[in-house]
Amino acid sequence: MEDVQNRQAEVAMSIDGVGIRNLQLPLRVSQRAAGSQHTVATVELSVDLPAHFKGTHMSRFVEALEGWKEELSYAGVRDLLEDIKHRLEARRTRIIFLFPFFLERRAPVSGIRGLQAYECRLTGELEDDRPTFLLEMTVPVMTVCPCSKAISEEGAHSQRADVRLCLRLKGFNWLEEFIEIAEASASSPTYPVLKREDEKFVTEHAFAAPCFVEDVVRNVARVLDSHSQVAWFRVEVESYESIHAHNAFARIERSVGSR
């Protein structure tokens, strides 16, 4: 049968990325505590396309995934990228995994357990046999406004905030470590389940550690700036203000070790 994709393109222009997206598949993600957890990823696969080819072979992307072990690891994703690059005869290939990562969290006093989800995105690229990996995640936290606390006779306004991490990694690292860095940088982590004694503890703990979004973003960046497995990072903190009709945010982006 004729291979239409290999026909000469009517418009001789190279394409930076062509492929498939919104494909869902099971995924196993390593856990620091023990073994791995099963989750579901939404996947995007793409390659570059030279100017002289009319199209790429879309089915080969799915075939590559069918032969993959479905385990998210540095070596596993690199092997998948190499396989796709070979199948599609490409110079550059990219894969994106969007998935929830779950951690069991214990309430600080009662110890009641619940699962908390963290939205994660891993992008792997392979160009001229050089792999690069970009990890993104969103970590919910709580902040108490230092200004509100300082000027108020009673209480202070508090709210949830998101810490968004974007990390260019040198190698494998536990997702849990970066979640902990973000949570430790705010007034308090958030929890899936809290009883009254837990709410009392969390409130008092958070009010003892008030912080602006500027404080949180600097706290996170200070740790990442000396991390051995991070080559570059962007961290953004967005606060969903409880008494203002707007959100507040702060962002730091830099290569590790530069000031």
pLDDT at 160: 96
245 versus 71: which is more confidently predicted?
Answer: 245
pTM: 0.89
- Asked whether the beta carbons of 212 and 146 are under 8 A apart, the reply is yes
In the predicted structure, residue 1 carries a pLDDT above the cut 60: no
In the predicted structure, residue 84 carries a pLDDT above the cut 50: yes
Backbone angles phi, psi at 88, to 5 degrees: -95, 0
- Asked whether the beta carbons of 248 and 213 are under 8 A apart, the reply is yes
Residue at token pair 């590790």: 256
- CATH code assigned to 15-255: 3.10.270.10
Q: Where are the domains of the chain?
A: 15-255
In the predicted structure, residue 246 carries a pLDDT above the cut 70: yes
Q: Rounded mean pLDDT of 227-247?
A: 94
- The tens digit of pLDDT for each residue in 171-203 reads 778 999 999 999 999 999 999 999 999 999 999
131 versus 98: which is more confidently predicted?
Answer: 98
